[in-house]
Amino acid sequence: MCIHSKGNEQIYLRALKRADIALWEWNIENSTFFLSSNYSHIIENSKNNFKDLFDFIQKTAADADTASAKNDLIFFLNGNASTYKSEFRVSTNAEEIKFILIRGKASRDIQGKISLISGSIEDVTEKKTLERHIDHLAYYDSLTDLPNRLLFVNDLKAALDNSQKGALMFMDIDDFKLVNDTFGHDYGDLLLIIFCQLIISCIKCLGKLYRISGDEFIILTNEFNSSDELLKLCGNIFNYLKKPFEVKGDKIYITISMGITIFPKDASDIDELYKYADLALYQSKINGKNTFTFFQRQILNSYRRKIDIEQELKSAVKNNEFYVLYQPQVDTVKNQVVGFEALLRWQNAKLGSVPADEFIPIAEMTGNIVEIGEWVLDSVCKTINKMKAKNHDLKKISINVSPIQLKKYNFANRFISIYEKYGISPSLLEIEITEGTLIDLFSYKIETINTLLKRGVKISIDDFGTGYSSLNYLTTLPISTIKIDKSFINNIYNKKNKSIIKCMIDLSKSLNYEIIAEGVETKEQLNLLSEIGCSIIQGYYFSRPLTMDKAEKILIKKRNFGGI
Ligand code: C2E
Ligand code: CA
Ligand code: CA
């Protein structure tokens, strides 16, 4: 429908005014520029005298936007777009910023040259603010207000596109789950906020901090002159973390692990750099946490080996690649074998013999340990069954149980059904749980252990003294044995260490626990242990882990263990 009357034009103008739209026309042939009077109202700016569209941009656009706004116009005038469209910031009389969207179409003369352009100007501030808010939500983490993974990827991409040099420093708070589980998520959130502030103050202007997920952060550094600068930054961060954090009036210490990769030295591909920093971080975790690692090619090799192990482990039970060795535990006073520890061995066609220390953590990570652990229990129960059938004086065999197995909801039932299958007494079985695992389980799943205890299965605390300071669990759980970790025995010659071991022994005795010293290799260690009251010994001094046949022979001979 066409509307020509003067009255209707008024309706148009009113509508445009309400819609915050102004109209303009640039007659290039006549060199005139018209701007509807409501423009000043919309933009709240009294400037209204312009020679042409370039002049309009020059006089109104914010300095930072002038060049791009002019480029938009040139782009259109050069025939690269059928519609002219440009968005830029302008300031009001009160120095406030508004966003305008300017649009137009061209009329051409007979030769096809643009003779006139006309269009509209719209105030799009509200839309822009909303867009920015949405952008903020998409690119910033709501808890810490730090840029997130998405922005990290964009920024890294931009740095790589501009051939910048820099580094990615991947950080992960050690055992953060423990903080959340112990103090609650609100407390954990607060700690994260304080942690970020601290890291930002360490970084200063050397880079930017991003929150990647939960307790994972990345620093993307600016260009640096030497790796000494990176080392200095790491040193600063680790120094700051030596001080406690104050959260809700409590003092709490946290440590972090860090993995660092340098670009373009290590790689210039986003995925590769991310993987390298992650691998270096993983290496820091393996090295005992609270440390940083620079990515090196050799880390990649150990990663490949890990992948190989992961792959080969999948079919190891099915292919019959595992076997169990039994290491005697000897009572030096009574001169007899009081038990064995079952130790798993893996012989693989491609990888050869892989040490338990290497493949068990990987099997734990992939979850394979559940199937493998059941195989070990089955194999040990079979051995006990055979030994008992031959009337050997076997007192117990202890089995290492991983936390992953314990956390499986039906662990106790599976365990019971396996020893029942071989008709053996549960009192011949002991499960070795590391101190750390026990603490971790304390809050939940403790009933799993209790179910087994009620049946008569014994519990032994492995690697005692290496984990946590809380001794609470010692009095709460009916433990039967404590195994003093090899690291203490290695340093038993040290006076302080000897006193610590003596303390552990006295504590165990007062609680009526059996105590076993692990990793005893020399006569000297044996004598020192006897001196302070520890008589049960496991270690190379008496015997390395043995095949079932050899273990059996020891039981038959009731061999005198005066030392081998
Ligand atoms: P662990 O439970 O602390 O086992 C003791 C480790 O010390 C064994 O290493 C044993 O061979 C070694 N050892 C014993 N006496 C001596 C000694 O006098 N000197 C030295 N240097 N070492 C000694 P192994 O068999 O390589 O096992 C390493 C770890 O792998 C074990 O540490 C245990 O955590 C894990 N593991 C072994 N078998 C199993 C299993 O069936 N299931 C699970 N979940 N873990 C297992
Ligand atoms: Ca053990
Ligand atoms: Ca141990």
- 325-378 pLDDT, tens digit per residue, is 999 999 999 989 999 999 999 999 999 999 999 999 999 999 999 999 999 999
The residue ranges of DSSP E strands in 176-285, in sequence order, are: 207-213, 216-221, 245-247, 250-252, 256-263
For the Cβ of 356 lying below 6 angstroms from any atom of ligand 1, the answer is yes
Instruction: Evaluate if residue 236 carries a pLDDT over 60.
Output: yes
Q: Could you tell me if the CB of 364 is within 6 A of ligand 1? A: no
Would the CB of 546 count as within 6 Å of ligand 1? no
| Residue 442 CB burial class (10 angstroms; 0-12, 13-18, ≥19) | middle
Atom of ligand 1 nearest to the CA of 369: 44
Percent of the chain with pLDDT over 70: 96
Task: State mean pLDDT over 502-524.
Answer: 93
What is residue 444's predicted lDDT score, i.e. its pLDDT?
60
Residue 564 has pLDDT above 70, yes or no: no
Q: How many Å lie between the centroid of ligand 3 and the Cα of residue 215?
A: 30
Average pLDDT for 66-78 = 96
Using 50, 70 and 90 to split pLDDT, how confident is the model at 438? Answer: confident
Counting ligands in written order, which one lies closest to the CA of residue 489? 1
% of the chain with per-residue pLDDT over 90: 73
Distance from Cα 486 to the centre of ligand 2, integer Å: 10
What is the best residue among 317, 323, 360, 529 to mutate for testing ligand 1's pocket, by most ligand atoms within 8 Å of CB?
360
Other CB atoms within 10 Å distance of the CB of residue 317: 16
- Angle at alpha carbon of residue 362, lines to 357 and 365, rounded to 5°: 130
Q: What atom in ligand 1 is closest to the CA of residue 520? A: 18
CA distance linking residue 159 with residue 444, whole number of Å: 47
Cα torsion angle, 198, 201, 203, 207, sign? positive
Query: Is residue 5 pLDDT above 50, yes or no?
Result: yes
pLDDT band at 316 (very low <50, low <70, confident <90, very high): very high
Coil, helix or strand at residue 320: coil
Ligand showing the shortest atom-to-Cα distance for residue 463: 3
User: What six digits make up the tokens of 45?
Assistant: 């700016």
pLDDT tens for residues 197-212? 999 999 988 999 999 9
Hey, whose CA ends up nearest to atom 29 of ligand 1? 357
pLDDT confidence tier of residue 263, bands split at 50, 70 and 90: very high
The length of the chain in residues reads 564
- Does position 271 have pLDDT exceeding 60, yes or no? yes
Contact 385, 424 (CB under 8 A): yes
Q: What six digits make up the tokens of 153?
A: 């990827």
Question: Is the CB of 540 inside a 6 Å radius of any atom of ligand 1?
Answer: yes
Q: Indicate the Cα dihedral angle 351, 356, 357, 361, nearest 10°.
A: 90
Phi-psi region of 167 (alpha: psi -120 to 50; beta: other; left: phi over 0): beta
Ligand 3 centre distance from Cα of residue 503 (Å): 19
Asked whether residue 3 carries a pLDDT value surpassing 50, the answer given is no
Residue with tokens 């373009």: 264
Q: What are phi and psi for residue 47, nearest 5 degrees?
A: -65, 125
| Ligand 1 pocket member 331 (CB < 6 A) | no
Q: Kindly list the protein residues that place their beta carbon closer than 5 angstroms to ligand 3, a single-atom ion.
A: 462-463
Helix (H) or strand (E) holding 450: helix 446-455
In the chain, the domains with their CATH numbers are: 5-130 (3.30.450.20), 140-295 (3.30.70.270), 319-558 (3.20.20.450)
**Ligand showing the shortest atom-to-Cα distance for residue 544:** 1
Answer whether the bond into residue 264 is a cis peptide, omega within 30°.
yes
Q: Is the CB of 324 under 6 A from ligand 1?
A: no
Helix 369-389 × helix 411-421 angle, to 10°: 30
d(CA 294, CA 304): 18
**Mean pLDDT computed over every residue of the chain:** 91
344 lines ligand 1 (CB under 6 A): yes
pLDDT, residue 48, reads 73
pLDDT in the model for residue 1: 40
Residue from 528, 564, 560 nearest 544 by CA: 564
At residue 100, does pLDDT exceed 70? yes
What tens digit of pLDDT does each residue of 275-290 get? 999 999 999 998 889 9
| Model confidence band, residue 13 (pLDDT cutoffs 50, 70, 90) | confident
pLDDT tier at 11, thresholds 50, 70, 90? confident
Cβ–ligand 1 distance for 328 under 6 Å, the answer no
Check pocket membership of 539 for ligand 1, CB cut-off 6 A. yes
Tell which atom from ligand 1 comes closest to the C-alpha of 324.
41
Which of 40-49, 128-137, 196-205 is the least confident region? 40-49
Query: Please, which residues have CB within 8 angstroms of residue 222's CB and are 6 or more apart in sequence?
Result: 166, 205, 206, 207
Closest of 241, 236, 195 to residue 214, by C-alpha: 195
Is residue 543 very low, low, confident or very high in pLDDT (cuts 50, 70, 90)?
A: very high
Sequence-distant (6+) residues with CB within 8 A of 114 are 28, 77, 106, 107, 108
Instruction: Quote the CA–CA distance of 56 and 47 in Å, as a whole number.
Output: 9
Phi, psi values for residue 253, rounded to 5°: -100, 135
Ligand 1 and 190: CB distance under 6 A: no
Q: Which residues are CB-contacts of 548 (< 8 A; sequence separation ≥ 6)?
A: 324, 326, 383, 386
Nearest ligand to residue 545 Cα: 1
Q: What is the mean pLDDT of residues 179-201?
A: 93
331 CA distance to ligand 3 centroid (A)?
18
